[in-house]
């Protein structure tokens, strides 16, 4: 019989994650945060010399589960494009011993999409019918899987430069309502909910150009000060985030908006711990609603803990 610490590679992580109710695990996590049963410090950025990249470290404690964990993720600058990997280490709060070391690629994809899904469930108008997704990679596809049953979507439109020219069979298999738009403008036209699922370090959507108020969610990437909407647009939107204690100090558009456009973190109307505990107001949709997720170490730690308990 294997004994801890278990080492889980990407393939094994994917197999075990298929057996988990990821949104429910994260819902419980955010409620624990609201109740004070979990600790989420601010993420730590460790820059490499000479602009060669960085490591971002995400820490967290789940007191009720008796575990501490850290996810560490490098952003390595290379001529052929940046390399991003991540590993999550889970440790016992009772023995101080390591329990699990897990390749975090699958954890990151699943928790990123599931966190957005929790936000969509909490913030999207009940009558929302038109869903747009900007991006078509693994993270975007996971978003489709987690949000496709949250509202009575009459259309699901996807756009990315690669999706326009690629074989659409993989995307169509995700949901029969899904279609690939010819442009970003076509995808978001008259959309009620827009999910930004790109690795872009700069804006991919200007909310001011939309025809009606919509829920816009953003995950961005871990490039320095990365953002998917123009920072100045935050001053004209109702802003929510995954965790108000850490997100405004890390999200690129929030940092820039605070420095240059008169925005302040206190303008965040609510975060997921508050929304999922009925402690924050729901949006009114007299203007755009923006939800920003930076990804919490606790999300990876909660999934790693679920994997460890399976093992």
pLDDT tens, residue by residue, 3-58: 678 999 999 999 999 999 999 999 999 999 999 999 999 888 899 999 999 998 98
Q: Is the pLDDT reported for residue 164 higher than 80? A: no
Compare 172 and 253 and report the one with higher pLDDT: 253
Residue 252 to residues 21, 103, 169, 181, 273: CA-CA distances in angstroms?
Answer: 30, 26, 34, 28, 22
pLDDT at 65: 96
pLDDT over 70, % of the chain:
97
Question: pLDDT tens digit string along 190-204?
Answer: 999 999 999 898 999
Residue 220 pLDDT grade (very low, low, confident, very high; cuts 50, 70, 90): confident
Write the DSSP assignment of the chain as a string of letters.
---SSEEE-HHHHHHHHTTS-HHHHHHHHHHHHHHTSEE-PPPEEEEPGGG-EEEEEEEEEEGGGTEEEEEEEEEE--TT--EE--EEEEEETTT--EEEEEE-HHHHHHHHHHHHHHHHHHHS-TT--EEEEE--SHHHHHHHHHHTTTS--SEEEEE-HHHHHS--HHHHHH-TTEEE-SSHHHHHTT-SEEEE----SS-S--GGG-SS--EEEE---SSTT--SS-GGGGGGSEEEES-TTTGGGT-HHHHHHHHHS---GGGEEEEHHHHTTT-SPPP--SS-EEEE----HHHHHHHHHHHHHH-
pLDDT over 90, % of the chain:
84
Q: Which of 216, 218, 203, 200 is nearest to 294 (CA)?
A: 218
Full-model pTM: 0.92
Q: Which of 13-22, 44-53, 159-168, 245-254 is the least confident region?
A: 159-168
* C-alpha–C-alpha distance, residues 148 and 166, integer Å: 22
Handedness of CA 206, 207, 210, 211 (dihedral sign): negative
Task: Please provide the size of the chain in residues.
Answer: 311
Q: Is the pLDDT reported for residue 2 higher than 60? A: no
Mean pLDDT over 228-242 rounds to 97
Mean pLDDT over 102-114 rounds to 95
Residue 140 pLDDT grade (very low, low, confident, very high; cuts 50, 70, 90): very high
The number of beta carbons lying within 10 Å of the beta carbon of residue 285 is 17
Mean pLDDT over 246-255 rounds to 94
pLDDT at 84: 86
């Amino acid at each position: 019989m294997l004994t801890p610490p278990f080492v889980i590679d990407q393939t094994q992580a994917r197999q075990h994650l298929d057996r988990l109710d990821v949104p429910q695990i994260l819902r419980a996590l955010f409620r624990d945060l609201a109740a004070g049963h979990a600790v989420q410090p601010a993420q730590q950025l460790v820059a490499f010399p000479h602009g060669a990249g960085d490591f971002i470290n995400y820490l967290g404690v789940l007191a009720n589960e008796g575990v501490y964990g850290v996810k560490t993720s490098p952003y390595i600058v290379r001529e052929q494009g940046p390399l991003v990997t991540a590993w999550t280490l889970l440790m016992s709060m009772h023995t101080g011993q390591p329990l699990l070391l897990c390749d975090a690629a699958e954890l990151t994809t699943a928790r990123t999409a599931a966190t957005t899904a929790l936000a969509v469930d909490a913030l999207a108008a009940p009558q929302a019918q038109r869903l747009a997704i900007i991006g078509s990679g693994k993270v975007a596809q996971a978003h489709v899987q987690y949000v496709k049953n949250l509202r009575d979507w009459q259309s699901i439109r996807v756009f990315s430069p690669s999706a326009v020219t690629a074989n659409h069979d993989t995307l169509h298999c995700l949901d029969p309502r899904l279609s690939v738009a010819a442009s970003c403008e076509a995808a978001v036209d008259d959309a009620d909910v827009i999910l930004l699922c790109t690795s872009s370090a700069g804006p991919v959507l200007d909310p001011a150009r939309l025809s009606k108020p919509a829920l816009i969610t953003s995950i961005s990437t871990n490039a320095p000060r990365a953002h998917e909407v123009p920072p100045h647009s935050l001053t004209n939107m109702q802003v929510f985030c995954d965790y108000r204690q850490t997100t405004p100090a890390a999200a690129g558009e929030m940092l820039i908006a605070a420095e240059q456009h008169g925005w302040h973190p206190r303008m965040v109307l609510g975060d997921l711990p508050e929304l999922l505990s009925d402690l924050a107001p729901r949006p009114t949709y007299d203007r755009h609603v923006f939800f920003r997720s930076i990804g919490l170490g606790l999300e990876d730690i909660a999934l790693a803990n679920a994997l460890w308990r399976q093992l």
